Structure 1
Amino acid sequence: MTKANAISGILFDKDGTLLDYAKSWVPVNYELARIAAMGDEELARRLLVAGGMDPDTGHVAPDTLLAAGNTVEIAEGMVAAGSPIAVSELSVLFDGLFAQSASMAVAVTDLAGFFAALHAKGYRLGVASSDNEQSIRQTASRFGFEQYLDYVAGYDSGYGVKPEPGMVLGFCAATGLDPHEIAVVGDNNHDLHMGRTAGAGLTVAVLTGTGSRQSLSAASDYCLNDITELPTLLPDGGAPRRAAA
């Protein structure tokens, strides 16, 4: 049996994996920097650079703060780079911005149909993101796949943060699956290292985020153009559904 044939659950990252990162988050990053700089345009540019984004092109480098950080980490980075706002206040402002951004997000495919097809095959499904849990749930509701989710974890859900293994282990606890029965799918090394640390059966990288084949190859079993290629890796008949613990 191959590792793919043992998979019964799939844990997805959100931004850059289910959502096209450049289309969904580059505009948010500009607003994030404006907020952190309190409207100072020159400071906002410096903050974007500190976060890993070119303020002129909008390109975000792989595994940088804006590519992989959670709300608190981004706030801390912005303060360290010169934002005059306290980390605690900035975190609240960022969480509010990220929750609002769900209405502007661009999905990489028909997520309702994609999740429905995997659910019909018997897979347990979850989303683990460095965004806050409210934003994840709003995104799932907007794109119509919330009913197919067995598990949702944000940086604030109590499972720890990426690349720690807690979100994967939480998915195991919620579904009754063992780590080797789970595929972790993401667009950056925080996702993949989280999966490897937890003992996930598969780590699958996608190129709809900030990573490249070169940056993601070491920590991934497969590197796909996007999530629509995922079903071709898995058993055509689907994995057996197991009762949650």
Structure 2
Amino acid sequence: MAQLAVCGDMHEIDAILFDKDGTLLDFVSMWGFWSECVITAFGTELTVRGLKALDAAAIPSLWGTQHHESGRIIGYDRNGPLAMGTMADLYAVLAWQGYLAGMSWAESRSAAIRCGEGASAMLEIERPARLLAGVKSFLDACRQQGLPIAVVTADETDAALRHLEWLGIRPYFGMIIGTDQVERGKPFGDMAELACSRLGVQPARTAVIGDTNGDMLMGRAAGAALRIALAGGTAAYPDASHIISGYEELRLGG
């Protein structure tokens, strides 16, 4: 058992479940890079078929991204598809654009997946992941307290494992639960419930930390004691029990 101080309030908890992207690692450095690779490649798929390219003005609305005037991704909607969706969700959104442009659904879906896999290969080469400020020291505190911690992510498990290894933090976590391990991903409570079961703790003695309201909804559905939103931008977190701006607002005690 440990005590977690959040916004000045002290809570007894037995475990913490962390979202990955935007919670442990910088979302834009990772998924902004990936998205730019996918969108560029999909534009090429359209062009070589003599079809109309994606409308640059419409690109931010596809997955919920924010762009510099140069086109580079500099932010994201924390409650949008890129932040909350699975790979299958993102591919479906992109495939719809290809279908509207004149591809068959099968052709467009294949192209979207091919572009996504190519972008993931570029991730492997570039490894643009960066830890958020305060993450490492907080994970060290969890280890010192002997507090069980896990990752629950909308990403696939194998990909999540690689990303955590790139960052050098994989050994901190007793469990990594990706969306492929459950029937229903976020915002349902399945991943949190599975993580708690495997850690041997009760959800009602567990804290969830995430950067989207989907994470908060997952925590609520699982019956988590605390639902801590790592806030950013103008995102709303109606299902959070606490909202913080950074890890410096969290303190662990025995």
Q: Same fold (TM over 0.5)?
A: yes
Q: SS at 1:5's partner residue?
A: strand
Larger Rg: 2
Could you list the runs of 5+ residues in structure 1 that have no partner in the other structure? 238-245
Identify the residue that residue 153 of structure 1 maps to in structure 2. Answer: 177
Contact 1:116 1:145 in 2 (8 A): no
Distance 1:34 1:117, change over 3 A: same
Q: 2:54 aligns with which of 7, 23, 43?
A: 43
Identify the residue that residue 240 of structure 2 maps to in structure 1. Answer: 220
Identical pairs, percent: 25
Distance 1:64 1:220 in 2: 17
Instruction: Name the Cα RMSD after superposition.
Output: 2.7
Identify the residue that residue 23 of structure 1 maps to in structure 2. Answer: 29
String of CA shifts for 1:170-190, please: whole Å, max 9, x gaps. Answer: 111111111111111111111
Identify the residue that residue 241 of structure 1 maps to in structure 2. Answer: none
Could you list the runs of 5+ residues in structure 2 that have no partner in the other structure? 48-52
Q: SS at 2:176's partner residue?
A: strand
Amino acid at match of 1:23: S
Tell me which protein shows more strand as a share of its residues: 2
String of CA shifts for 1:18-52, please: whole Å, max 9, x gaps. Answer: 11222332222211222333355841734442222
String of CA shifts for 1:125-177, please: whole Å, max 9, x gaps. Answer: 11111111122111221222222211101122235311111100111111111
Distance 1:30 1:175 in 2: 37
- Of 21-30 and 167-176, deviating more is 21-30
Identify the residue that residue 96 of structure 2 maps to in structure 1. Answer: 80
Distance 1:48 1:157 in 2: 30
Q: CA deviation at 1:5?
A: 2.4
- Number of aligned positions between the proteins: 230
Q: SS at 1:10's partner residue?
A: strand
Distance 2:130 2:211 in 1: 15
Q: CA deviation at 1:224?
A: 1.2
Q: CA deviation at 1:222?
A: 1.2
String of CA shifts for 1:205-235, please: whole Å, max 9, x gaps. Answer: 0035xx54x512x1111111123432x2x4x
Distance 2:114 2:150 in 1: 25
Amino acid at match of 1:87: R
Give me the TM-score of the superposition, normalised by structure 2: 0.79
Give me the TM-score of the superposition, normalised by structure 1: 0.81
